[in-house]
Structure 1
Amino acid sequence: MIWQSFLFRFSVGLILVFTIFFAQAETSSKRAEELFKQGYTLYQQRLSDSALGKFKEAAQLGHVDAAYYAGNILRRNHTFITEEAEAFYRQAAKGGDVYAMLRLGQEGRLCGTLRNCDYDREKWISKALDTALSRAEAGDSDAMMELFSAYWAAGDRKSAFEWTKNAAEHGNAFAQYWLAVGLLDEREMGFYWTEAGRRADILKWLKASAEQGFPKAIFKLATEYSIDGRFDEATEWVDRMGQTDYFDALHEYGLVLIAGPDGAKNRIQYPEPRPIEGLAVLLALHRETGNPSVKYSIDRHLNDLDSDTAAKARARSEELLVDTPILHYLPKFGI
């Protein structure tokens, strides 16, 4: 009986220990995710210095993505991989982050003070390919985009293009946008017998991405439709630009509304000028971001608007973008 009582008490104690352990682990995991989300929003607002502390704290709690972004900010701050950045990249790579592996596989001036950073470059590129490939073959479109970056880093542009196309065909909105941008010759992706065929695919993929709500695609699609003289379709997507939280789209949206059909040739045309709404968007955007280029746009147009229009715009701006984080949609690996 004594032995059975001991076993019972031991079992209860063990269960209690495991319960406390897992509860603490769950709390740490939730805290790490909360910190990461806060840091990521700051990062996308281009407030990297503020984001870094959040990412570091989340990384200390084991958050893989946070470790990658902490390494990325440190690398960009110094223009090369420091020992501290390397430590975060290695933490993320150990957790399976393909982009961290690719950073560790980069060569040239990115290595900075790390004298031996080229030593295992090929190993890291190979590991990135192997890690992403199994998930991509199982239908993971994010892994397919990881393969784009991995094959591009390995110098295999044909495979990079093919995996981007696979990801786009699997409905990945970023891949659809990235493919369209690539077809615009910014990355010299794909071969076409005619420019008309290339153009049709550019618009097809941009529209597919925009219809999923990806803000960069919405902005780009409006621009490309305007270039082609498809103004009714361009107007539809201009209106969608104003519903996003994307800095570039909102800035352009305000300028387009002010100019109306008389906008510059390199700017999207809009059927009628709406100076009150356009200026209000710019004022709200500057209030939320303090961006000097937006302030310049405001000052440039205020001289052309009467005081009544300006007053109405200021009043209207108080209702716009309230407590809305304005984001730049920076890619994870592209910068």
Structure 2
Amino acid sequence: MKTRLLLTLLLLLFSSYIFAQATFGQLTAKEQGITFINQYKSSSAIPFLKLAAEAGAPEAQYYLGEALRKSNRYITAEALHAYEASALQGDIYSMIRLATADSDLCAAIKKCSKGSKSPDDWMRTAKELAKKEADEGSSESMYLMYELSGEKFWLEKSATNGFALAQFLLATKYLEGEGLFLSSSSRTEKAEHWMRASAQGGYPRGMMGLAAILIEKKDLEGFRLWNEKAANSGYVEGVFGYASYLAGEPSNYGYSLDFVKSYALLSLLLELDGGGGARRDVEDILPNVVEKITPEQIQTAEKLAHEWKATHPPLSFFPFKLSR
């Protein structure tokens, strides 16, 4: 009896260990898949996201749908299945993709797969759920109500309730001329208010947006602060800008020259070969940096690049989650 009990306990412990290992592996796969998506490497993301999606994680299923859609340039049957699996678990982003399937390229080339619900049904479901969650105080769902309805009221409400992406979008709209203001200075002040809120909320695009506003105001210290914060977040635009300024391109922003660090950061960006133009930009200026450092300094820079990658978030373009 004791032997049987002991064997049962050992089996349970072993099963728990195997489950924990599988769960950890699937979680790691999801993170790697999303990293590739954010680096515009959709094809590379697919095998990782498939592994994570098998565990039933709705976010992994959504991103699998995204990777498949972007790799094929339309919603394939496999992508549709991934979106639906996610949407059936309440993922509003997936519902929105399914709701707009009629406008996808598949409609033009007559390759649309038939789902369990029509796009109109998914649109209704998405609006009902987003409205419910927004009424319960979810600032992200308030933003999704803006995406679903196009009503600026929801964007403003989401920003007021602290959703950093909404704050960035609202600031950008003001900078682009939307909204009524008594003067250009009041427009700029309002845009800076929301961009600063976004940056302080940890959104890298907001950090770079604030840096751009501050350089217009000749606030070099503020510009450097937020550019470096954006670089430390892994935002490609921030890393490239910071590396360029350290090499003196341009030289009027108050940075001390540091060609070794510039080389280190620029070399990291060379892995971005999936799109976005960063690699091309790096190849334009990296030779100029190489001319100014010794082979020994290049070795130091390569070590620094390795350390940076190990201690900072993965490089990312931070594309919008609902980007086309």
Q: Higher relative contact order by CA 8 Å / sep ≥ 6: 1 or 2?
A: 2
Assess, with a 3 A threshold, how the Cα gap between structure 1 residues 322 and 282 changes in structure 2: closer, same or farther. Answer: closer
Deviations 1:3-41 (A, max 9, x none): xxxxxxxxx9xxx9xx89x96997565554343223222
Shift of 1:172: 2.0
Residue 231 (structure 1) aligned with residue 226 (structure 2) = no
Give the aligned partner of residue 120 of structure 2: 122
Name the CA distance, whole Å, in 1 between partners of 2:271 and 2:182: 47
Give the aligned partner of residue 182 of structure 1: 173
Deviations 1:219-255 (A, max 9, x none): 2211221123232322332333342311111001111
User: Is the contact between residue 261 and residue 301 of structure 2 (CA under 8 Å) also seen in structure 1?
Assistant: no
The letter of the residue matching 1:212 is G
Give the aligned partner of residue 274 of structure 1: 257
User: Is the contact between residue 255 and residue 278 of structure 1 (CA under 8 Å) also seen in structure 2?
Assistant: no
Give the aligned partner of residue 266 of structure 1: none
The letter of the residue matching 2:158 is A
For 1:170-209, list aligned pairs within 5 A.
Answer: 170-185=161-176, 189-209=178-198
User: Is the contact between residue 263 and residue 289 of structure 2 (CA under 8 Å) also seen in structure 1?
Assistant: no
Name the CA distance, whole Å, in 2 between partners of 1:189 and 1:329: 24
Point out where structure 1 has 5 or more consecutive residues left out of the alignment: 1-11, 152-156, 264-268
Shift of 1:279: 2.5
Residue 73 (structure 1) aligned with residue 101 (structure 2) = no
Name the CA distance, whole Å, in 2 between partners of 1:272 and 1:35: 38
Give the aligned partner of residue 276 of structure 2: none
Indicate the larger mover: 26-35 or 70-79: 26-35
Residue 298 (structure 1) aligned with residue 270 (structure 2) = no
The letter of the residue matching 1:57 is L
Name the CA distance, whole Å, in 2 between partners of 1:115 and 1:63: 23
For 1:137-148, list aligned pairs within 5 A.
Answer: 137-148=135-146
Say which of 273, 289, 300 aligns to 1:315: 300
User: Is the contact between residue 180 and residue 203 of structure 1 (CA under 8 Å) also seen in structure 2?
Assistant: yes
Q: Secondary structure at the match of 2:248?
A: helix
The letter of the residue matching 1:333 is L
Assess, with a 3 A threshold, how the Cα gap between structure 1 residues 270 and 105 changes in structure 2: closer, same or farther. Answer: same
Residue 87 (structure 1) aligned with residue 81 (structure 2) = yes
User: Is the contact between residue 105 and residue 120 of structure 1 (CA under 8 Å) also seen in structure 2?
Assistant: yes
User: Is the contact between residue 30 and residue 49 of structure 2 (CA under 8 Å) also seen in structure 1?
Assistant: yes
Q: Secondary structure at the match of 2:175?
A: helix
The letter of the residue matching 1:176 is Q
Name the CA distance, whole Å, in 2 between partners of 1:189 and 1:137: 27
Indicate the larger mover: 51-60 or 175-184: 175-184
The letter of the residue matching 2:218 is G
Q: Secondary structure at the match of 1:332?
A: coil
Name the CA distance, whole Å, in 1 between partners of 2:136 and 2:57: 24
Indicate the larger mover: 32-41 or 220-229: 32-41
Name the CA distance, whole Å, in 2 between partners of 1:220 and 1:205: 10
TM-score by length of 1: 0.77
Deviations 1:78-104 (A, max 9, x none): 221111111111111111111111111
Assess, with a 3 A threshold, how the Cα gap between structure 1 residues 88 and 189 changes in structure 2: closer, same or farther. Answer: farther
Name the CA distance, whole Å, in 2 between partners of 1:143 and 1:223: 29
Name the CA distance, whole Å, in 2 between partners of 1:277 and 1:243: 17
Which is greater in Rg? 1
Residue 134 (structure 1) aligned with residue 132 (structure 2) = yes
Residue 41 (structure 1) aligned with residue 41 (structure 2) = no
Say which of 136, 147, 155 aligns to 1:149: 147
Residue 56 (structure 1) aligned with residue 54 (structure 2) = no
Deviations 1:257-279 (A, max 9, x none): 2226x54xxxxx41244142552
Assess, with a 3 A threshold, how the Cα gap between structure 1 residues 228 and 314 changes in structure 2: closer, same or farther. Answer: farther
Residue 108 (structure 1) aligned with residue 113 (structure 2) = no
Name the CA distance, whole Å, in 2 between partners of 1:123 and 1:91: 15
Name the CA distance, whole Å, in 2 between partners of 1:287 and 1:104: 35
Q: Identity of counterpart residues, as a percentage?
A: 23
For 1:156-167, list aligned pairs within 5 A.
Answer: 157=150, 159=151, 161-167=152-158
Shift of 1:281: 4.0
Name the CA distance, whole Å, in 1 between partners of 2:297 and 2:222: 29
Assess, with a 3 A threshold, how the Cα gap between structure 1 residues 115 and 201 changes in structure 2: closer, same or farther. Answer: same
The letter of the residue matching 1:108 is S
TM-score by length of 2: 0.80
Q: Secondary structure at the match of 1:259?
A: coil
User: Is the contact between residue 283 and residue 317 of structure 1 (CA under 8 Å) also seen in structure 2?
Assistant: no
